[in-house]
Amino acid sequence: MDASKLFLFVFVSTIVYTAIVARADLPGTWELLVANAGVASMHTAVTRFNTVVLLDRTNIGPSRKMLRKGHCRYDPTDAVLKRDCYAHSVLFDLQTNQIRPLMILTDTWCSSGQFLSDGTLLQTGGDMDGVRKFRKFAPCESTGLCDWKELQDVELSEGRWYATNQILPDGSVIIVGGRAANSVEFFPPKPGGDIHFPFLADVEDNQMDNLYPYVHLLPNGHLFIFANDKAVMYDYKGNIIVRDYPPLDGGPRNYPSAGSSVMLALEGDYSTAVIVVCGGAQYGAYLERSTDTPAHGSCGRIVATQPDSVWEMEDMPFGRIMGDMVMLPTGDVLIINGAQAGTQGFELASNPCLFPLLYRPAEPAGLRFMTLTPGSVPRMYHSTANLLPDGRILIAGSNPHYFYKFNSDFPTELRIEAFSPEYLSADKANIRPVLEEPPETIRYGETFTVFVSVSLPVVGIVEVNLGSAPFATHSFSQGQRLVKLPVTSAMPSGDGRYSIGCTAPPDGRVAPPGYYMVFAVNLGVPSVARAFKSRHPKRI
């Protein structure tokens, strides 16, 4: 891992698709991409090669995709299949819709992940034989045979099950929490191993509502960490709580109470970071194994970088648990998937929430939510949502059962869908920009020029925005962020294109080193993502 480089690489999308309108009077369209992915994706990540890693757990018994001949997994402790020739991870090619099986050896149930600065997907922890494991997937072109690699020379200091990962400004990764793990540790490992983090113990309750904590890297270099109904600003270098935020009303929000969270787009001078937490289950639903206790629909929003800030409350149109919050290239947030009653856990939810919501941060409270076209496939426990380079949202997973079960009201879901926000509708085609090949390399803080072309004349500012590729699992996208670059007005270049002056992020606190999708956004309509590479950042 090269921690001294920020890579912003090309995500070129040549996908041709036709969308099926599910409800003409509401924005957005749905399409079926794959009828049978072979695995139900508990964890999903989009790579820089226009491929998607789908990952389930290994001890789930037979999937619907076989491994390559001669590549079976042998595990004498597996209660279902000691000789397992079924895939539990696959690679999905966005351009061909082809599925290739991947082989993973140790149990990845409720594990965590993050892309490293060199584009490798780091996968950490899980259950059983995977609880202390580090795994890596180095993505390759779809014609290659890249596969999972289990690291043998290093392991987690403490078992991590239901933990959260976040890449840091120097390119290392912090791993926060997990079941019975009130501590943090790092990859690459640091001397001394794990560090006790008492905040997680303080907020734990008899429902374990401190699992999969929400972790956001703030532009001041500290971490915003939320668990149960409380949050802190954490100096991970000194292991110091810098600030306690006020509790968020509405009860617990983390696993198993199943809310979600995003940090809104960083922009301007990058001094302000706003965190939003939405949805969750009523306290006690998990303890009582209640499937019909209504979810709540409250959202809290706080300026994390402002001293003495408090939560601003508002309500979604629907109560929702297990919803995924996805940062769109525009800076709006899509809330999708989930249910309106129950809690996280096997067969503990009901009344699927089929209506996505668009959260528009720039609107005043009370006007921020827009209801979008509903889907037809219930996406319950173990569903995921990820932004694609062409601006669509990939929807995968849903398996509320301990094993694969297809004769149920909410069966194991092997279909992969895509949701297209309204900005991809046909009437927006003339204002959709095309981002031309950007510079090959940039440096933190330097200025550079990009070129766009568009059918209609440009009116106003064309944004240039960087979107990370996070690791989505259990209603939270680990490492998700959107950075809006300072830009100059688009100027005609004399060849039918427009030139835009841009300034790169100042340092790794704003944009940690790694791979980013780079979008031009014209009048709220994003281009297909392209990218560039930055070297030799300023030292922090």
Give yes or no for residue 28 having a pLDDT over 80. yes
Q: What is the DSSP letter of 203?
A: H
Q: Show the tokens assigned to 435.
A: 């981002």
CA-to-CA distance for 303 and 308, rounded, in angstroms?
A: 9
Instruction: Give burial (CB, 10 Å; 0-12/13-18/19+) of 241.
Output: middle
CA-to-CA distance for 351 and 184, rounded, in angstroms?
A: 36
pLDDT at 326: 98
Amino acid identity at 178 = G
Instruction: Give burial (CB, 10 Å; 0-12/13-18/19+) of 315.
Output: middle
Q: How confident is the model at residue 438 (pLDDT cuts 50, 70, 90)?
A: confident
Give yes or no for residue 133 having a pLDDT over 70. yes
Map residue 314 onto helix, strand or coil: strand
Q: How many Cα atoms within 13 Å fall on the side-chain side of residue 321? A: 35
CA-to-CA distance for 384 and 334, rounded, in angstroms?
A: 12
Q: How confident is the model at residue 483 (pLDDT cuts 50, 70, 90)?
A: very high
Q: Show the tokens assigned to 47.
A: 């790579």
Query: Is the C-alpha dihedral spanning 399, 400, 402, 406 positive or negative?
Result: negative
Q: What is the mean pLDDT of the chain?
A: 92
Cβ-proximal residues to 536 (8 Å cutoff; 6+ apart), any chain: 4, 5, 443
Give yes or no for residue 415 having a pLDDT over 90. yes
| Strands 296-303 and 312-315, sheet pairing | antiparallel
Strands, E, within 270-332: which ranges? 274-280, 296-303, 312-315, 324-327
Map residue 76 onto helix, strand or coil: coil
Q: What is the mean predicted confidence (pLDDT) over 26-53? A: 97
pLDDT at 6: 53
DSSP 433-461: -EE----SEE-TT-EEEEEEE-SSPP-SP
CA-to-CA distance for 13 and 529, rounded, in angstroms?
A: 8
Give yes or no for residue 535 having a pLDDT over 80. no
pLDDT at 21: 38
Length of the chain: 540
Q: How confident is the model at residue 495 (pLDDT cuts 50, 70, 90)?
A: confident
SS3 content of the chain, % helix, strand, coil (to 5): 5, 35, 60
C-alpha distance from residue 68 to each of 72, 101, 249, 414 (Å): 8, 7, 50, 19
pLDDT at 169: 97
Cβ-proximal residues to 292 (8 Å cutoff; 6+ apart), any chain: 341, 342, 350, 351
CA-to-CA distance for 109 and 264, rounded, in angstroms?
A: 29
Using alpha carbons, select from 268, 250, 267, 270 the residue that is nearest to residue 259.
Answer: 250
Using alpha carbons, select from 402, 306, 389, 319 the residue that is nearest to residue 353.
Answer: 319
The position carrying tokens 């690679």 is: 91
Map residue 198 onto helix, strand or coil: helix
What is the Cα gyration radius of the chain?
22
CA-to-CA distance for 162 and 212, rounded, in angstroms?
A: 5
More confident residue, 495 or 42: 42
Q: What is the mean predicted confidence (pLDDT) over 207-220? A: 97
Q: What is the mean predicted confidence (pLDDT) over 152-166? A: 97
CA-to-CA distance for 357 and 260, rounded, in angstroms?
A: 13
- Is CATH 2.130.10.80 what the domain over 6-424 is classified as, yes or no? yes
Q: How confident is the model at residue 144 (pLDDT cuts 50, 70, 90)?
A: confident
* CA angle centred on 20, ends 14 and 26, rounded to 5°: 115
Lowest mean pLDDT, pick from 182-186, 292-296, 435-439:
435-439
pLDDT at 486: 97
CA-to-CA distance for 486 and 471, rounded, in angstroms?
A: 27
Give yes or no for residue 441 having a pLDDT over 80. no
Q: Show the tokens assigned to 82.
A: 């000691």
pLDDT at 470: 97
